[in-house]
A and B are shown apart, each in its own frame.
Chain A
Amino acid sequence: MRPILAIAQTTLGEAIRRKVLLVILLIGVLLMVVAPGLGILSARSETTVLKGMMLGIIQLTSAVIAIVLTVYMIPNEIERRTIYTILSKPVQRYQFLIGKYLGAVSALAMMMGLMSGILVLVFAISQPSNRDISAIAELIKPPVMYFVQMCLLAAVGIFFSTFVAPLVNFFLAGGVYLLGSLFNPFFETLKSSTNTPPIAKFAAAMLNFLLPNFANYNVQNPIINPGQTIRNETMYYVEITGYGVLYIALLIIGGIWIFDRREV
Chain B
Amino acid sequence: MSAAIETRKLTKTYKSRQLGKINVVDNLDLTVERGEIFGFLGPNGAGKTTTIKMLLGIIYPTSGEGFVLDKEIGDMDVHRMISYLPERPYYYEHMTGMELLKFYGSLFGITDQNKFKQLLEKVNLHRDLTKTIAQYSKGMQQRIGLAQSLLNDPKLLFLDEPTGGLDPIAHREIRDLILGFRDEGRTVFISSHELSEVELICDRVAIINKGVIERQGKLTDLLSGGRIGITVTGIKEQFFKDMMIGDANVRSTGTQVLLDVPEANDPNGIIDAVRTAKGQIVSVLPRRKRLEDLFVETVTNKS
Which chain B residues (79-117) contact chain A, with CB distance < 8 Å? 79-80, 82-92, 94-95, 103-104, 106-109
Interface: A236 (CB within 8 A): no
For chain A, the bracket of interface size reads 20 to 34
Which of A9, A13, A88 is the most central at the interface, judged by chain B CB atoms within 10 Å of its CB? A88
Interface: B59 (CB within 8 A): yes
Given A2-B109, A88-B84, A90-B108, A82 and B89 contact (CB-CB distance below 8 Å): yes
Interface: A126 (CB within 8 A): no
A81: nearest residue on chain B (CB-CB)?
B86
Interface: A231 (CB within 8 A): no
Binary flags per residue of A230-263, CB closer than 8 Å to B gives 1, else 0 = 0000000000000000000000000000000001
Which chain A residues lie closer than 8 Å to B79 at the CB level? 88-91
Other-chain residue from A10, A14, A17, A85 in contact with B84 (beta carbon distance below 8 A): A85
Given A85-B84, A90-B79, A10 and B92 contact (CB-CB distance below 8 Å): yes
Question: How far, in whole Å, are A91 and B152 apart by their CA atoms in the complex?
Answer: 13
Interface: A209 (CB within 8 A): no
CB distance from B14 to the nearest CB of A (A): 8
Which chain A residues lie closer than 8 Å to B76 at the CB level? 90, 92
A264: nearest residue on chain B (CB-CB)?
B58
CB distance from A17 to the nearest CB of B (A): 5
Interface: B41 (CB within 8 A): no
Which chain A residues (61-108) contact chain B, with CB distance < 8 Å? 80-82, 84-92
Interface: B209 (CB within 8 A): no
CB distance from B154 to the nearest CB of A (A): 10
Question: How far, in whole Å, are A90 and B148 apart by their CA atoms in the complex?
Answer: 14
Total chain B interface residues with beta-carbon distance under 8 A: 32
Which chain B residues lie closer than 8 Å to A125 at the CB level? none
Query: B80 and A84: CB pair below 8 A?
Result: no
Given A13-B94, A80-B90, A263-B60, A88 and B82 contact (CB-CB distance below 8 Å): yes
Which chain A residues lie closer than 8 Å to B92 at the CB level? 10, 13-14, 82
Other-chain residue from B56, B59, B90, B158 in contact with A263 (beta carbon distance below 8 A): B59
Other-chain residue from A2, A84, A85 in contact with B104 (beta carbon distance below 8 A): A85
Which chain B residues lie closer than 8 Å to A185 at the CB level? none
Question: How far, in whole Å, are A14 and B145 apart by their CA atoms in the complex?
Answer: 19
Query: A85 and B89: CB pair below 8 A?
Result: yes
Question: How far, in whole Å, are A90 and B86 apart by their CA atoms in the complex?
Answer: 16
Query: B91 and A6: CB pair below 8 A?
Result: no
Question: How far, in whole Å, are A88 and B108 apart by their CA atoms in the complex?
Answer: 11
Which chain B residues lie closer than 8 Å to A52 at the CB level? none
Query: A85 and B148: CB pair below 8 A?
Result: yes
Interface: A3 (CB within 8 A): yes
Which of A14, A85, A263 is the most central at the interface, judged by chain B CB atoms within 10 Å of its CB? A85
Given A82-B92, A263-B59, A90 and B106 contact (CB-CB distance below 8 Å): no
Question: How far, in whole Å, are A150 and B230 apart by their CA atoms in the complex?
Answer: 79
Question: How far, in whole Å, are A149 and B83 apart by their CA atoms in the complex?
Answer: 40
Query: A84 and B60: CB pair below 8 A?
Result: no
Other-chain residue from B86, B89, B95, B107 in contact with A91 (beta carbon distance below 8 A): B107
Query: A17 and B59: CB pair below 8 A?
Result: no
Which chain B residues (135-164) contact chain A, with CB distance < 8 Å? 145, 148, 152, 158
Which chain A residues lie closer than 8 Å to B148 at the CB level? 85
Query: B58 and A2: CB pair below 8 A?
Result: no
Question: How far, in whole Å, are A264 and B53 apart by their CA atoms in the complex?
Answer: 9
B100: nearest residue on chain A (CB-CB)?
A10
Query: B152 and A10: CB pair below 8 A?
Result: no
A261: nearest residue on chain B (CB-CB)?
B60
Query: A3 and B107: CB pair below 8 A?
Result: yes
Question: How far, in whole Å, are A94 and B58 apart by their CA atoms in the complex?
Answer: 13
Which chain B residues lie closer than 8 Å to A2 at the CB level? 106-107, 109
A-B contacts besides A87-B58, A263-B60, 7 pairs, CB < 8 Å:
A6-B107, A82-B92, A85-B89, A85-B145, A87-B57, A88-B57, A89-B107
Chain A interface (Cβ < 8 Å from any Cβ of B): 2-3, 5-6, 9-10, 13-14, 17, 80-82, 84-92, 263-264
The 5 closest A-B pairs by CB, nearest first: A80-B90, A6-B106, A88-B84, A90-B79, A89-B107
* A-B CB contact pairs (8 Å), 20 listed: A2-B107, A2-B109, A3-B106, A3-B107, A6-B107, A13-B95, A14-B94, A84-B58, A84-B86, A85-B85, A86-B107, A87-B56, A88-B82, A88-B83, A89-B83, A89-B104, A90-B76, A91-B107, A92-B76, A263-B59
